[in-house]
Amino acid sequence: MYRTHTCGELKIGDAGKSVTLSGWIQRSRDLGGLTFIDLRDRYGLTQLIFNMDTDPALCNEARKMGREFVIQVDGIVRERSNKNPKMPTGDIEIQAEHMKVLNGSITPPFTIEEESDGGDELRMKFRYLDLRRPPLKNNLLLRHQMAFESRNYLNSQHFIEVETPVLIKSTPEGARDFVVPSRVNSGQFYALPQSPQTFKQLLMVAGFDRYMQIVKCFRDEDLRADRQPEFTQIDCEMSFVHQEDVLNVFEGLITHLFSSVKGIGFSEPFPRMTFAEAMQKYGNDKPDIRFGMEFKELTDHVKGKNFAVFDSAEYIGCIVAEGCSEYTRKQLDELTEFIRKPQIGGKGLIYIRCNTDGTFKSSVDKFYTPEELQIIAATTGAKAGDLLLLMAGELIHTLKALSELRLEMGNRLGLRKKGIFKPLWVLDFPLLEWNEENKRFYAMHHPFTSPKPEDIDLLNTDPGKVRANAYDCVINGVEIGGGSIRIHEEGLQKRMFQVLGFTDTEAENQFGFLMQAFRYGAPPHGGIAFGLDRLVSLFAGEDSIRDVIAFPKNNAGRDVMADAPSEISTEQLKELSISILKADK
RNA sequence: GGUGAUGUAGUUCAGCUGGUUAGAAUGCCGGCCUGUCACGCCGGAGGUCGCGGGUUCGAAUCCCGUCGUCACCGCCA
């Protein structure tokens, strides 16, 4: 028997017991006559003690043990003379009687401790060692718990988990597909699913009523801290539901996760906000509502004073930074520099200080009298001691830049605390988005999203104005889930493809199987998918989803541990009837 | 596709306006130590300064290119 107990469970009440433990050597402390070894497994750390007086041979052997050796030790649980209150097992130690080396270890390239000394790249290359560290280990335990509780809740709501295929048909809409060549069907390719969307809809047609799946999805797009080419969704679909039903069931899921995993309850239902309202107040379809600082529009209040920047602007808006009227020139310059960064693209920042003595100082004093500044400040609701930050320009760009500025100010003022969670539903997204480059509309969510019934006529006259039965769940500025009520009628689905610029033949070729299914009694249905990786990283307080994925890809989509992707042999290529184009130059 | 940051002992980093033998901490190896828990003390080994080219009497340092890593923009229905 390798062990009678784990390294985390022995406590003072076990004193006197004969036990066997197996695990990894975290660290050893050789004091000459005494040697201590901290033995680690998934469950914790337990101190072993070897004494030169009682067993010199064993003690000498223990002195030779290196970090990360795997050993098995038999011994007696003893109460410590010097207790360590910092350790859960700090009241006891194991007086070793026998030791067996189960496997040695070469010196690890970085320290395997709470805070490692290793850099990202190195730890990624030795991921299996990094995963021994408590922070990463705990993230994976948390992930398991969240997946388990999700299934638990959804099972209680009569969802059944159904596996959908991973080798599917490639479609040009949406993100780029990962493709897989078919050997048997020479020259043809499968795609890996960006989501099981059509299959879960077909399961509704099949009458399963409530489907869920914790499922890998694949998108061949560039990576970010919160984006991996393969990621996991809690994918769900329900029949005979309106939007309200879906929101209620999945508000229940999120609430259940918070209470069962973090012990956090929400006293109020999740607030709801339309897409239009989110854009107007926060310049963002996934606002962080842990803090206010909502936009105040000033377009109609500040024009006509010969200030060209304002007079030529489509939109002028501002945020009120409470208590920041004392910001120094340097701090204001930093903010200007921030919004001027190319990825934000702001041209300039205008400030109005509402001094505590009731006076006003601004960067546009040349154009506005103190009285006019006071009126502007009053319009925004600013108080003495506040700082107004104004941006002006083309509508969409200015909203976006002002949104970045708001988040930056939130960070600077410490208003985005990690332990605070503010969920939010964003509703009524536009159905379509105009793409200037290709001169056509694209589905904002996906082509199976239903338009709001009252907006259907706009499909013919002003498609850009059509609102969808689509909703996102946002927590702390992170989009953690999104879904919609789907189209379940062949006619409307065909109309949708027409608006998206598909010919009937193209629509038939790509999605004929779905529209065929709609002819056989498709029930009204809708659903949602949550990003498990993002949810777990939010719960764990991690900034990157890589920290909650066992074996993630790096910035360039590479697995640096296994060194994938890699070239394949000419034999393999030949078998697949594939030739590789030589790169230019 | 683009912008920025970065690359120096096993590891994390310092290394100024170019100047003798490239440092620190930690880890590793050896010695001492009976209550440590980041044990302590003494000693030691350890470097293709990412790679290639250029400027210079002289380059870790300046310039050009290239590769890797990270963050972001584009992209992500």
A397 CB contact with strand B at below 7 Å:
no
Please tell me the predicted confidence (pLDDT) of residue A585: 35
A80 CB contact with strand B at below 7 Å:
yes
Q: How much is the average pLDDT of A160-182?
A: 94
CB neighbour list of residue A444: distance below 8 Å, 6 or more residues apart: A429, A430, A431, A432, A433, A468, A470
Specify which residues A191 forms β-bridges with: A168, A179
d(CA A320, CA A355): 13
Q: Which tens digit of pLDDT belongs to each residue from A76-112?
A: 999 999 999 999 999 999 999 999 999 999 999 999 9
Q: Does residue A463 have a cis peptide bond before it, meaning omega lies within 30 degrees of 0?
A: no
B73 closest protein residue (CA to C1'): A343
Q: Which tens digit of pLDDT belongs to each residue from A212-269?
A: 999 999 999 999 999 999 999 999 999 999 999 999 999 999 999 999 999 999 999 9
* pLDDT at position A357 over 90: yes
Structure tokens at A426: 């964003």
A27 CB contact with strand B at below 7 Å:
yes
Tell me the Ramachandran region of residue A304: left when phi exceeds 0, alpha when psi lies from -120 to 50, beta otherwise. left
pTM, 2 dp: 0.95
Specify which residues A188 forms β-bridges with: A182
Specify which residues A103 forms β-bridges with: A70
Query: Closest nucleotide to residue A35 (Cα to C1')?
Result: B36
Cα–Cα distances in angstroms (integers) from residue A554 to residues A57, A143, A221, A229, A557, in the given order: 48, 20, 13, 10, 5
Could you give phi then psi for residue A198, rounded to 5 degrees? Answer: -70, -35
Q: Which tens digit of pLDDT belongs to each residue from A507-524?
A: 999 999 999 999 999 999
Please give the share of chain A, as a percent, with pLDDT higher than 90: 91
CB neighbour list of residue A263: distance below 8 Å, 6 or more residues apart: none
Please tell me the predicted confidence (pLDDT) of residue A533: 97
* Nucleotide B16 C1' to residue A338 CA (A): 29
Please tell me the predicted confidence (pLDDT) of residue A298: 95
A84 CB contact with strand B at below 7 Å:
yes
Residue at A434: amino acid letter: W
d(CA A144, CA A137): 11
Please tell me the predicted confidence (pLDDT) of residue A584: 45
3-class secondary structure for A10-35?
CCHHHCCCEEEEEEEEEEEEECCCEE
d(CA A562, CA A550): 13
Tell which strand B nucleotides have any atom below 7 Å from a protein Cβ. 1-3, 10-13, 26-29, 32-40, 68-77
Q: Which tens digit of pLDDT belongs to each residue from A369-427?
A: 999 999 999 999 999 999 999 999 999 999 999 999 999 999 999 999 989 999 999 99
- The complex scores an ipTM of 0.92
A30 CB contact with strand B at below 7 Å:
yes
CB A450 within 8 A of CB A487: yes
Query: Closest nucleotide to residue A108 (Cα to C1')?
Result: B10
The helix (H) or strand (E) run that includes residue A264 is none
* Nucleotide B60 C1' to residue A119 CA (A): 21
CB A130 within 8 A of CB A118: yes
A1 CB contact with strand B at below 7 Å:
no
- Find how far residue A99's CA is from the centre of its chain: 45
